[in-house]
Amino acid sequence: MRVAISALMVSSAAMGQAGGQRASGDSTMLRGKALQDAGQSGQSLEMGGPSYPNVTLRSEAIAVTWFLPPQANDSVAYYKSTRFDWGSMIGDVRIGQHTLYGSNFWRSPSDPNWQAPHDPTLPEAGVGLAAEFGCGGNGASCGPGWDPYTNGASNGVLGYEEAGAGEPFLKIGVGKLLKGSCPRCTDDEYKFNSAYKFAEWPVWNVSSPGPAADALEMVHEASLNTKWGYRLKVRVSVQGNALIAERELTNIGSQAFATPQYSHNFLSADNRPVGPPFQLTFGQNVSDYTEPGVISEYKWAKPIAGYFRLLGANTLQAVPPESSLSDDPPRLKAELSGATNMNSSASFVASLGGVTMASDTISTKASLYAYNLYVESTAVCPEPIQMLELNPGETATWRQHLLFGEFEPASSNTQSACRGADADDTSTSYYTLHFGVETINECKALCLERHDCVGIEHGQFGTGRCEVWTREAGIQATEQVPGFTCLRRVMARPEEQVILP
């Protein structure tokens, strides 16, 4: 399964052209009152906490909050620690009356690394997409991943091994840090989730590519010496029901480097704890996995089988949990096997009650380094991990497309087929027919790709029959048919849209 969202792709050439226009001085630098031009809001959804500078990107269908990097050490910001990419704090996606990727409720209060109220200096205090360069473990290098990545790579750090205690190294997406300066630095090992001191404060140039409040760009670069350096460019835009996050990483040093990269995708919905009817469909076989936190002597994770059951080979359906994820340990983690998933895509589709989200990541690097699933409290987090290998002067580009939509049953009968004006109205002109669509999640994703889709019909008699309905008058009737499901797409009226300040 691959969630193809080709109609929404923005070419690298177009992105580069936009960068050239910004360099000429045509851009609006987001400083002071200029933030208002891009929909800036001084308020976050953090209950009882300070206001964190952010920009709200809007379309007719969704509103997306992007928390801005701090401009100085003493500046207020949602995140200013040393693990996550500062340009990826994208959360609070609003569609209708729903909030996904919420900024204040994805993580469990029982976690000893988490404090209330929100602390921007904690390495783990990310939100939303929360991207990271590295493999999410200790040590300056990562172990082997799926073939062909058998030799490992840097854990998102450059120049770490060469640096002495108190000397600088680079963390990609964060900046220049001091080796040995973190609270847990009792030896020479790099600690991925411990806060380091900055050798110098990172600079992020934030700009709006135009007058509309639907896109924002950030550029950040850091150099250690002539040997190590990187430039990171991030562009986020909203188009209809789509959130598009584009990134470019350029090696501006003289030494080649390789590093894994992934987004945590802290996917939560309306502060609901993980459980039925959550359903997650992957682009690969999820029946073959290991659980490092279950077999560890520290037992820092629960078995995933106590919270999800497998539907087919690629879908997990939440079941009533054996125990609350607020109980210790408050998390699940599965690492998918490379043997059965070598050529899988970086896609997933999540159904969270009435809200559905489809994601795919298109990269200049085709095969994945690994794919993990992390679950905690209210968040189900699919984590496709890519490998970036860059020679001096080389640039890697990747784009994550996220489509959002709401669906509701077209009939009180759970087994029904879609019809037009009445139960006998079955014209084939009302829909586009797809075969081989194994899950209803994949059928929903096909619907979300089209602005004119009004609903779906999905059948499971071995053919994976999916009808994507585009009848202008909508689905007005159903007929009871065993094995079929008819869903209407909910199109919120303009007065029902949530518009943030």
Last residue of a domain, one of 377, 405, 433: 405
Q: How many angstroms separate the CA atoms of 38 and 57, rounded?
A: 7
Whether residue 106 lies inside any domain: the answer is yes
* Residues 6+ positions from 297 with CB-CB distance below 8 Å: none
Query: 460: closest CA among 318, 243, 315?
Result: 315
Specify the DSSP class assigned to residue 322: S
- For range 480-490, the mean pLDDT: 95
pLDDT at 367: 76
Side-chain half-sphere of 427: how many Cα atoms within 13 Å?
10
What is the residue range of 32's domain?
12-157+168-271+360-405
pLDDT at 403: 97
Q: Encoding tokens for residue 9? A: 């792709």
Whether residue 210 lies inside any domain: the answer is yes
The fraction of the chain above a pLDDT of 70, given in percent, is 84
Q: How many angstroms separate the CA atoms of 395 and 342, rounded?
A: 24
Measured in Å, how far apart are the chain's first and last C-alpha atoms?
38
**Residue 440 DSSP SS3:** helix
Q: Cα separations (Å) of 138 from 141, 439, 490?
A: 8, 37, 45
Tokens 């890519």 sit on residue: 386
Whether residue 230 lies inside any domain: the answer is yes
- φ, ψ of residue 226 in degrees (nearest 5): -70, -15
The yes-or-no verdict on residue 210 having pLDDT over 90 is: no
Q: Encoding tokens for residue 499? A: 């518009």
pLDDT at 339: 79
Whether residue 266 lies inside any domain: the answer is yes
133, 184: one domain: yes
108, 217: one domain: yes
pLDDT at 340: 79
392, 417: one domain: no
Q: How many angstroms separate the CA atoms of 499 and 501, rounded?
A: 7
Whether residue 112 lies inside any domain: the answer is yes
User: Given its phi and psi angles, is residue 37 left (phi above 0), alpha (psi -120 to 50 degrees) or beta?
Assistant: alpha
Q: How many angstroms separate the CA atoms of 351 and 318, rounded?
A: 10
448, 389: one domain: no
pLDDT at 44: 36
pLDDT at 233: 98
- pLDDT-based confidence at 28, cuts 50/70/90? very low
Total domains, the chain: 2
Q: How many angstroms separate the CA atoms of 99 and 81, rounded?
A: 25
245, 219: one domain: yes
Last residue of a domain, one of 336, 371, 405: 405
151, 43: one domain: yes
Whether residue 339 lies inside any domain: the answer is no
401, 418: one domain: no
Q: pLDDT digit string (tens) for 139-191?
A: 999 999 988 888 889 999 999 999 999 999 999 999 999 999 999 999 999 99
- pLDDT-based confidence at 474, cuts 50/70/90? very high
- For range 303-320, the mean pLDDT: 92
Whether residue 336 lies inside any domain: the answer is no
Q: How many angstroms separate the CA atoms of 344 and 289, rounded?
A: 14
Burial status of residue 179 (CB atoms within 10 A of its CB: 0-12, 13-18, 19 or more): buried
pLDDT at 498: 55
Reported as type and span, the H/E element at residue 258 is: strand 257-263
Q: How many angstroms separate the CA atoms of 501 and 189, rounded?
A: 44
- pLDDT-based confidence at 7, cuts 50/70/90? very low
Tokens 């040995």 sit on residue: 180
Q: How many angstroms separate the CA atoms of 255 and 260, rounded?
A: 17
Q: What's the chain's length in residues? A: 501
- For range 282-294, the mean pLDDT: 88
- For range 489-496, the mean pLDDT: 72
pLDDT at 297: 82
- For range 72-86, the mean pLDDT: 93
Cβ atoms 26, 372 nearer than 8 A? no
Global pTM value: 0.86
Q: Cα separations (Å) of 449 from 43, 329, 441?
A: 32, 38, 13
The yes-or-no verdict on residue 79 having pLDDT over 50 is: yes
Reported as type and span, the H/E element at residue 445 is: helix 440-448
The yes-or-no verdict on residue 470 having pLDDT over 60 is: yes
430, 492: one domain: yes
Q: pLDDT digit string (tens) for 392-450?
A: 999 999 999 999 999 999 999 889 999 999 999 999 999 999 999 989 999 999 999 99
Query: 382: closest CA among 312, 463, 282?
Result: 282
- For range 273-281, the mean pLDDT: 91
The distance from CA 487 to its chain's CA centroid, rounded to whole angstroms, is: 26
Last residue of a domain, one of 405, 434, 465: 405
Q: How many angstroms separate the CA atoms of 235 and 205, rounded?
A: 12
Q: Which residues pair with 133 in a beta bridge?
A: 261
- φ, ψ of residue 173 in degrees (nearest 5): 85, -5
- pLDDT-based confidence at 107, cuts 50/70/90? low
pLDDT at 128: 92
- For range 46-62, the mean pLDDT: 74
Q: Encoding tokens for residue 113? A: 């690394």
93, 124: one domain: yes
144, 105: one domain: yes
Q: Rounded to a whole number, what is the largest CA-CA distance in the chain?
A: 77
- pLDDT-based confidence at 376, cuts 50/70/90? confident
Whether residue 305 lies inside any domain: the answer is no
* Residues 6+ positions from 247 with CB-CB distance below 8 Å: 87, 131, 232, 233, 234, 235, 397, 398, 399
225, 238: one domain: yes
Q: For 78-108, b where at least 16 C-beta lie within 10 A, e where not — what string?
A: bbbbbbbbbbbbbbbbbbbebbbbbbbbbbb
382, 423: one domain: no
- For range 262-267, the mean pLDDT: 94
Task: Supply the CATH number for residue 69's domain.
Answer: 2.70.98
Q: For 219-255, b where at least 16 C-beta lie within 10 A, e where not — what string?
A: bbbbbbeeebbbebbbbbbbbebbbbbbbbbbbbbeb
Query: 377: closest CA among 177, 79, 182, 109?
Result: 109
Higher pLDDT, 382 or 284: 382
Task: Supply the CATH number for residue 419's domain.
Answer: 3.50.4
Query: 240: closest CA among 8, 456, 18?
Result: 8
